[in-house]
């Protein structure tokens, strides 16, 4: 009797059953969704308490300059009206100086540079399009890969070929860098990938723009 490859491929050399890749991907997506939801619920709770105790500054909407800039990057794929910015004091979220995005709220801390806003808005985009799991996946990438999580070229070296396959920090960093190099006359080594990336970012229909916890 010939071996049926579809039957044997889920067994390791010692005969143990191995979950098919699709099952593992589904399990990790569900795990990330649960972890991300917990992060967002706890974060929102901390934020509310901090606001009551005046430990963090009040949120504001985007100004016109920011809206124009972001529309140039994201087109209509990002619901700008939902975004809130908190500058300066951020209470517990200020334990490190890095900007931080919690759902539709961006804690800019001491940063004012537009490229940082672009980076953080990619995380808002991830949230608006895929839900809370982005938070667990971005945090997971930072814990697992350290600073190299931000290096999207390292993602290419790791065998990922498209922006959508990159880890969540590499995704944000790549859009940030494309925006920073938009006026550069120097030939971009990854022009084709950059064009495909912007297309997939801008044309993905945002079916849940108002998602909130
Ligand atoms: Zn980031």
Per-residue pLDDT of the chain (213 residues; tens, 9 = 90+): 444 544 556 666 666 767 777 777 788 888 888 888 989 999 999 999 999 999 999 999 999 999 999 999 999 999 999 999 999 999 999 988 999 999 999 999 999 999 999 999 999 999 999 999 999 999 899 999 999 999 999 999 999 999 999 999 999 999 999 999 887 755 467 888 999 999 999 999 887 666 555
What CA–CA distances, in Å, run from 103 to 79, 123, 128? 12, 8, 8
DSSP letters for 104-164: TEEEEET---HHHHHHHHHHHHHHHHH-THHHHHHHHHHHHHGGGGG-HHHHHHTT--SGG
Tokens linked to 77: 């794929």
**Residue reference for tokens 């972890």:** 35
Find all residues with CB under 8 Å of 33, minimum gap 6, and list them: 131, 132, 133, 136
Q: What's the gap in Å between 121 CA and the centre of ligand 1?
A: 9
138 C-alpha to center of ligand 1: Å? 7
Cα 125 to middle of ligand 1, angstroms = 12
pLDDT at 202: 94
Structure tokens at 183: 């006026």
Q: Which residues surround ligand 1, an ion (CB under 5 A)?
A: 169, 172
106 close to 86: Cβ distance less than 8 angstroms: yes
Å from CA of 139 to ligand 1 middle? 9
* Residue 123 Cα to ligand 1 middle (Å): 7
**40 contacts 103 by C-beta, under 8 angstroms:** yes
How many A from CA of 1 to the centre of ligand 1? Answer: 54
Compute the distance from residue 12 Cα to the ligand 1 centre, in Å.
Answer: 37
User: 3-state SS of the chain: helix, strand, coil percent to 5?
Assistant: 60, 10, 35
Is beta strand 84-87 parallel, antiparallel or unpaired with respect to 100-102?
A: unpaired
pLDDT on residue 21: 76
Report d(CA 29, CA 132) in Å as an integer.
11
- Asked if residue 165 lies in contact with residue 137, where contact means CB atoms within 8 angstroms, the answer is no
For the entire predicted model, the pTM comes to 0.84
Q: In this structure, what token pair is assigned to residue 173?
A: 């960093």
101 CA to middle of ligand 1, Å? 8
Q: Which residues are CB-neighbours of 57 under 8 A, at least 6 positions away?
A: 86, 87, 88, 89, 90
Strand locations in the chain, DSSP E?
Answer: 84-87, 100-102, 105-109
**Which is nearest to 96 in space by CA: 139, 127, 131, 141?**
139
Q: Is 91 left (phi over 0), alpha (psi -120 to 50) or beta?
A: left
Q: What is the pLDDT of residue 75?
A: 93
């Amino acid at each position: 009797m010939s071996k049926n490859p579809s039957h044997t491929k889920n067994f390791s050399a010692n005969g143990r059953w191995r979950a098919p890749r699709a099952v593992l991907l589904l399990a990790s997506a569900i795990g990330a969704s649960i972890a991300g939801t917990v992060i967002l619920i706890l974060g929102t709770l901390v934020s509310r308490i901090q606001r009551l105790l005046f430990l963090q500054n009040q949120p504001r909407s985007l100004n016109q300059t920011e809206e124009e800039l972001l529309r140039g990057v994201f087109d209509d794929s990002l619901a700008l009206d939902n975004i809130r910015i908190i500058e300066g004091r951020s209470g517990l979220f200020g334990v490190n100086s890095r900007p931080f995005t919690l759902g539709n709220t961006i804690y800019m801390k001491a940063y004012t540079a537009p490229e940082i806003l672009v980076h953080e808005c990619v995380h808002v985009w991830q949230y608006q399009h895929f839900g809370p799991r982005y938070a667990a996946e971005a945090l997971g990438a930072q814990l697992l890969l350290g600073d190299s999580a931000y290096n999207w070229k390292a993602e290419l070296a790791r065998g990922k070929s498209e922006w959508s396959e990159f880890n969540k920090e590499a995704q944000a960093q790549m859009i940030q860098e494309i925006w920073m190099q938009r006026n550069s006359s120097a030939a971009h080594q990854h022009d084709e990938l950059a064009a495909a990336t912007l297309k997939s970012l801008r044309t993905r229909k945002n079916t849940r723009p108002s998602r909130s916890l």
